[in-house]
Amino acid sequence: MLRDVVRVFHCDDSSSFRVLVREILGGYDDVEIVGEAGSPEEALAGLGAAQPDVVLLDLLPPGPRDSLVMEIRQLVPQARIVVYSGYPVTVSRDRHPDACAYLDKAAPFTALHEALRAAA
């Protein structure tokens, strides 16, 4: 069921990019940023209280947090995960095949908005 307002939790290690995404998405009446995190640890600490519809997730270099999508699913099972990364989409799919959508950061912001709406 498509929601009237999509509640989004954004996790990206770049604070500047989080601000940019917040400002751009703030121009849409049907998207609300309900939380942000600069690290996987911050995301896991804040997701439970935020109860988002969608988690917008930047990928970090391969390493010990490759299980992050599974951890998010356990914490907020109703949330859909959109991987939004500078890594090529094929790399994102290989690392996190259970996310519902993959978007390159070079995509236009209208595509980001559409991906969030579709995920919800």
Using DSSP, state whether 51 is helix, strand or coil. coil
Average pLDDT, the chain: 86
Q: Model pTM? A: 0.88
Q: What domains are there in the chain, each with its CATH number?
A: 6-119 (3.40.50.2300)
11 strand-pairing partners: 37, 57
DSSP 69-82: HHHHHHH-TT-EEE
Two tokens, residue 97? 């095949």
pLDDT at 56: 95
Per-residue pLDDT tens over the stretch 60-96? 655 555 678 888 889 999 999 998 888 776 665 666 6
Two tokens, residue 17? 């990019």
